[in-house]
Structure 1
Amino acid sequence: MSSIDVSIASERQMRKREAEFVNSVFVSEMIPLIVPSDSADGSDGSKSKASPFVYAKDLPALVVEFLEQHYRHGNLTWHNGMIPDTEIWIKIGGDKGGGTMKMFFQIVNINNPNAGRNTVTFASFAGPDTPDNMTATMEQYEDQIKALENMSWRGYSFRLSFFGDCELLCKMYGILSCNSVYACPVCEEPKHGWKIPLKERKRRKNGLAPLRTNASLHRNFLQYMSDGCRPNRSKTVSKSVVRLPLFPIEPQQITMPTLHISIGVHDKIYRHLEEGCHDIDKDIFTHLVKTYDDSSIDKSSVQNNFDQAVQQRVDEVGEKHTMLDKKNHDLAEMTANIQDTSIKEICAIQQKITELEGDLKKADFKKGTGPITSALDDVLQRHNIQRQEYHGKTFNGNQVKKCCQPSVTADLAGTPHRILGELDSSHSDTAVPLQAYGKATEVAKCFATVMAKFSRVHKCINHGRNMTEQEILDAETAIEDFMQCFRSSLANVQISLKLHFLEDHVLPQIKSLRAGLGLMNEQGGENQHGHQKREAAACSNLKHQPMQQLLTVMKNSLTQCLPDVQAKMLHRKKRQNED
């Protein structure tokens, strides 16, 4: 490497840095946590188990150490005025993944604060992020975070914000759940109010619902306590507040989870497309069963599940028709001899006939195996978009970005008509009912329209650039247009917490920052999961010592985040003729 003027810090230097600083940062211990269990000693599917917990004993000191190192290396920036020149912004947040819950901090006053190398894990435990587990592990940081918020460094004051997905935000701020009536941790607008467009709510007699504060959350919790701590009554007595907030960071300083907003909203749009395509597949299935001609089918050529389901359904329909004819014959005989037959027997026969008639109307095949719905996955793969099989076939952030490209949207929207045409051309008789073409047109138009407006929103909010007045106005218009289109085109889809965040709280945050939310969202926390998974694999020899393994992963992760270590990892020497 020296031949190309590159020097790399030695292994000894890196281990020395770890020994001097990292070993003094963390405390490790086994603590009782609630974990899932199906064993006999469990209760309601869970039990208490001693689990490893590794945490920084002095969070403010750790933050200051990172600031000092960034200061020495000239890394600090105020992002062209986005951050006031008298402030240092610190993001605190968390995320679960890989069997552990991790808590992070990020210094926003550096370039690429959401990068994995700038996301510092200060606490981690092996277990689910239940409210009880979060309280047991995080309540020790309440005073430390309050001290950090009130302290100054080199004449700069601190401004703290909190980031995380919707579930974590609700847990940290004491909300019952993401599905509760008052699920929003930022404001007191109930779920039924989300159905009403923002502009209409602004014109209400009482205006918009009040914003939450730590003081209001404490008052709500006292009301919950006075009522006897009954979660099912929290929606009426405490605005769905059932716990005290864990950290003293005001709800107005919650960073909108734009990554999860984009993923969640896109998932709703795509699943609506799948439902529409499945509905067309059912029409095709029913039509093929009715027009099935066994003599014209080469059964050895059947390859896909859908064709097999058609043939299986034809056999079932034949059997059910035979049963139905027999039951109708029995009913006719019973009715003719009503004096010798009880009313109960006649009613039983009539009920069976009704069931058989209902079964004959069903289009019974596995969802996703129809010709159109299955073709959607082929389109995604053609554009190198691989859905996450083990996460409910959802999309990740990069995949959502690809799906927002006009070429991908057009390809997906055109799939129903394309497959219908292929089916018609491959069969001698009409394989497609006429109404399927009308439905395909409606599905394609709806998806293309909604996705075009969503893509515009995604582009407006998911970046870290400073924004002009016109760009902020464009973002406001994009959000309004999208929500109007969503409500009219997907009227049967519920307005979720993520959509409420998008409509009510994303734009005020953009106006406050005068920038996109790419620097402030939860992306950095998501990036850490893959990094720490690789670290855990590297020390797999410790898998039977979970405490030591978690401690080693935390140490290695912290070491790689240190600005001093990063500065030595890859450094180009200056040439003699360079200043």
Structure 2
Amino acid sequence: MEDHLANIQLLCRLCGERIRPYKSNNGKIEYRKSKIKENQNKITGLDVSLDVEGVHPPYMCRFLPSSFVSSNSMNSFKCNICKLLCQCPVVPPCQHITCKTCVQPLYEDTDTVQCCVCNIPVHFSSITAVQLIFAQCYLSLNVTCKCCRTVVECKDASTHVCVSDHDYLASPTCSTSPHIMPTPTDLHNNNLIQGILHHPPNQPVTQLMEELGHHIIKAKIESSKKRTADFTFKGKTLQTIIIPKARVDSSLAGQRTVRNRTKLVEVVRDVVSGGESMFQMTDEVRRLPEELKQLLRKPIKLPTGDLLSLKTNLGLTWTRNRELKRWLTKYGIQTECEAKMRTQQDTIISNNINSEYLPMIHKDKTLEIDNAKYIADGERITRAKLFNNVISKPLFAVPITQVAPPGLHISLGLFLKHYNSLEAACQLLDFKIGSLIALNSIEDLHATPQFTKHVGVLRDIQEKTLKADELAHEIEALKDYLNVFLILGEDANQLTPLFNEIHQKTEQEQQLASKSLKLPKNGPVTTSIENTLQSIKVKRQAYHGRSFVGNHVHKCVKPENIKKIMSQIEATAVELCPAITEDVYALTLKYGSLFTKFGQCHRSYNLASFFTEDMVSVLENNIKDYIKYFRENFQETEPPKMHILEHHVCEWIRMWGFGLGFHGEQGGESAHSQLNTIKRDIRGIPDDLKVLESVIKQHWVKTSPQMLAAKPEKKKRSFKDA
């Protein structure tokens, strides 16, 4: 009996459930309960005046919903989210009732959301079901069928049979047969649909209605495979067209976007006109502003000079130009007449081009004067450099001021000469390192007589090798002079001394070559240079004396690559033989400075851009500095290309105002290609001089500033429009 009374003390009088315990602040286990008072029957509708002690529980849960009032109030049982009768009602700690199906989606991405009424943060674990007494009151509510207007209790709504004649508004809640019992979820969804169908037109549209309408329209569009969707209601058909909202106006949009909008306008016009889009468009044109009508009536005329620019850039002849004018006239595009176009062309050309058959003669007698001085000096080849190397009469009478110095070949020849000199020095360094390694038992290598003798032998070998190379160059030069004399038809008696001199120098060169020792060509220091060139993707040619191409020369004389080559030589040589560290540093400093000074000149005179007087002065000083350093530190012969660089390059650039890259073979080949392209379209002119004159005139007009300004620029296609 005592256990029974104790259990009654822990039961709720309202819901009959066991009162839940909790842990208070002082650590004791307590229960959320309160004594039932007689005046509470106004709230709960429960009469406790006849309760018997020991039979009825004297307490009730403190969990009394604030919205729990008399069962006659329908609003107390409406969901605060969907505003319909609750389906599986639940309450948060703030006691604002909602449907379970309405509140579940709010917690898909978070654990805490705000209450839809009081905005208090609500954790999902604090939401509980309503009490039993509340559920009983809810099921006893009187509800009205929205179709047949029959009043039934909420617990009997599932078995209600609707007797409405409005089939199109028949509530899915009302079963067509008393044996079909819909589930509570079906009842809730049907209530939502009925609420949407009976939503007053003058009230704002809810978010749920917008989502439902979007889904229905999207399904219709997908099924029809068009931009339109048809809806039938009460025998009438409503046709809708999907028009996306424009994020930017057409003036800022891409071409593809504008085209898509034009197609959409055509679809709308076709739907609105019932298939007669042309008739509808005619009426639209009548409603255009007067300014736009005048623009449509006004003929299109190309600006003056544009047709001439089109003709020259496309390489059209005058015959093809007339045919083009006829096509443009057919579509209402007016252009200037041919007479005006020829006048425009003559104005551009003016008196800049005159053609005449002329022999290749000139008034400048500089070459003849130098050749006469050379002959008067005794025609000694060793003194030819004093007379600008003019050892014979010129084959073609072209003034020297009209011949551009070959900038590319100057760079190729001088760089190859300096590189061969560096390679020979590294081979000598390899030979020295090999000798010192053999004498590694001696502590002071620089003080031993063996070292001094070995160095002397190596110097003798180097001197003999250089003399042999000089004789080989002189022999090649003499052979070239011999060929020139044979072409000019000189007397055979005059050629005999030249033959004897070539034979004598050839024997001297062979004797020196036989006496000199062959230095190793694949030593560690020499190999390190080749490896460094490979690391910067530079490779020597297998022919033409193992020379370099222009791009590789330009890459090698960059300051960072020069530093990389010299650093590799130092690291390799010092690692093998630390005793020659000073000699290695002196060698790398010597050749590093040489290549740096040469690179400054190379990068400047090979430009194709315009040169100011200050730029020419800087180049002139760089060339003087480079030549002076070479003569002071290298006892080597000066090739003719170094003479051209010293005496003719700056003079040429100062006279014409452009670098050698503009007048050199690259620029000449580019201009030659353009002239050949123009010449292919010239027909019907038998005279070669007239053909050349026509080509030059068309090229002059094509490259004139007026025609270049009229030529439209190529517009880059953006990825957004693609």
Q: Which has the larger radius of gyration?
A: 2
TM-score range, shorter chain: 0.3 to 0.5
Higher relative contact order (CA 8 A, sep 6+): 1
More strand by share: 1
TM-score by length of 2: 0.32
